[in-house]
Amino acid sequence: MDRYDLVIIGAGAAGEAAAFAARERGASVAIIDRDLFGGSCPFFACMPSKSLLHSAEVNAAGGDYPWPKASDRRDYMIVREGRDYPDDSGHVRDLEKAGAVPIRGIARLTGPGGVLVAHDGVEHELEAGAVIVAVGSTSRVPDLPGLDEVPFWTNRDATAARELPESLLVLGAGPTGVELGQVYARYGVPVTLVVPGPRILPHDHERSAALVAAALQRDGVEIRTGGRAVAAHARGGAGGRHRFELSDGSSVEGAAVLLAIGRSLPLEGLGLETVGVDVSSGHLTPDAQLRIAPGVFVVGDPAGPEMFTHVSHYEGEMAARIALGEDVTPDFRAIPRALYTDPETGSVGLLVEEARAKGIAAEELSANLATSAKGYVAEAEGHVSIVVDRGKGTLIGAFMAGPGASEAIHEAVLAVKLETPLAVLADTIHAFPTMARVMGLLFADAAKA
């Protein structure tokens, strides 16, 4: 039996971050994954989707970026040139160089301090000082009559496609559905987004959602709100397209179908019950230090509070430090969120409605980017909205859409984290003309009020 200070199950962003942090502190580390070392982000999520969004933006503006060039560039990004499946050997080499032991196989806990690994037709047990569960998430597949007959896409298929579909039907309009919908629409594919509620991006600021919806519609995307898919009919539409019945009595069709309705956690088969963890609910509830059982930690998507690569990376490092004896606690008060459509969106903290529901004396101040100096010079639409705690005189939320929003939001992230007084924010000099300066003027208005 091989013994390690830390055994990590899952080698995505969270698992890799934990492994590197532990090795920096001199701990022995084994890291196990059944599929790709590096996880979804570099191969099927963050990197390929952002590469395709960039290519599509250039193409939509009349630049020289046809789909074959975009597809080739994407394949380069995910190390899939001339291959059917990405090559993760670079991630394996980096882990080995750091002194970790990568193991490709299927792992499960056998009890406190025990992990059984199956690979290459054999099984062997590892003894762990601590275990970090970093298994990520998978696309949620609904229990929908007829869906099993439809060769649907998940985000993996949509970001890896080498041929454009004749049309694309997207079920769900969160970040995945919206970003990929814009990519394909900008390459001339008729795209329909099906939204169960009244608007796309239901968790973002309504102004941001409205601006992105208008941009999608200008790109040719049809947005169908207020109807949920209730039944699927493979090749049951015109021209052999797949047809879906909606709860409002209407139907939609698409030659390709992308499921973007959320994520599921692959918790079954991990042996968590052997350390007293109940997974019957389909989710985990870690304590403030990401612990789910003595010596067992969870990081990344299964840990929450939000499913972002940057949160996963942060949690991986924190869990490794805690597992190795450091007295630290993760701080989730200021998690940045970004959408990389055209226009971009960025946000942090609480919406004004969320703040008031918590009993905070919250007020929102907003600015129209189009009538600002930045909007004039960039010929750009957008908004900046801030939410302040009147009692404390601090920023508790910021939301923006427009050029550079994913970068400009980070001043607000730091301000929320540090509870920086509005007077200090108002006294901060912001470069002109920028999104950040529009936000700075709102800080000044809030401080005066």
Assign residue 233 the CATH number of its domain: 3.50.50.60
CA distance 11 to 201: 29
Tokens 């601090």 appear where?
A: 394
Q: What pLDDT score does 1 carry?
A: 75
State whether 304 and 397 are in the same domain. no
Q: Which of 262, 285, 308 is the endpoint of a domain?
A: 262
State whether 12 and 121 are in the same domain. yes
Q: What pLDDT score does 90 carry?
A: 98
State whether 94 and 12 are in the same domain. yes
In a domain, 83, yes or no: no
What is residue 398's DSSP assignment?
E
Condensed to tens digits (0 to 9), the pLDDT of residues 182-241 reads 999 999 999 999 999 999 999 999 999 999 999 999 999 999 999 999 999 999 999 999
In a domain, 383, yes or no: yes
CA distance 272 to 293: 9
Residue 35 in tokens: 């599929």
State whether 116 and 173 are in the same domain. no
In a domain, 49, yes or no: no
Measured over all CA atoms, what is the biggest interatomic distance in the chain, rounded to whole angstroms? 69
Instruction: Compute CA 406 distance to the chain's CA centroid, rounded to the nearest angstrom.
Output: 13
In a domain, 79, yes or no: no
Q: What pLDDT score does 120 carry?
A: 86
State whether 196 and 344 are in the same domain. no
Tokens 């503006």 appear where?
A: 61
State whether 93 and 9 are in the same domain. yes
State whether 11 and 133 are in the same domain. yes
State whether 15 and 131 are in the same domain. yes
Residue 432 in tokens: 């002109």
Tokens 């797949």 appear where?
A: 242
In a domain, 55, yes or no: no
In a domain, 45, yes or no: no
User: Do the strands 191-195 and 106-111 form a parallel or antiparallel pair, or are they unpaired?
Assistant: unpaired
Assign residue 372 the CATH number of its domain: 3.30.390.30
Q: What pLDDT score does 145 carry?
A: 97
Q: What pLDDT score does 445 carry?
A: 97
Provide the CB-side half-sphere exposure for 32 (13 A, CA): 24
Cis before 433? omega within 30 = yes
- Whole-angstrom CA distances from 166 to 56, 240, 267, 384 are 17, 11, 36, 37
Give the residues of the chain that fall short of pLDDT 70. Answer: none
Reduce the secondary structure of 272-306 to three states and give it as a string.
HHHHCCCCCCCCCCCCCCCEEECCEEECCHHHCCC
Parent domain of 412: 337-448
CB burial of 193-224 (b: ≥16 within 10 Å; e: otherwise) equals: bbbbeebbbeebbebbbbbbbebbeebebebb
Q: What pLDDT score does 160 carry?
A: 97
Instruction: Compute CA 169 distance to the chain's CA centroid, rounded to the nearest angstrom.
Output: 21
Give the number of domains in the chain.
3
State whether 250 and 273 are in the same domain. no
Q: Which of 262, 290, 312 is the endpoint of a domain?
A: 262
Q: Which of 296, 323, 350 is the endpoint of a domain?
A: 323
Tokens 């920086």 appear where?
A: 420
State whether 152 and 276 are in the same domain. no
State whether 98 and 171 are in the same domain. no
Q: What pLDDT score does 282 carry?
A: 92
In a domain, 54, yes or no: no
Condensed to tens digits (0 to 9), the pLDDT of residues 319-358 reads 999 999 999 999 999 999 999 999 999 999 999 999 999 9
CA distance 160 to 158: 6
In a domain, 303, yes or no: yes
State whether 207 and 292 are in the same domain. no
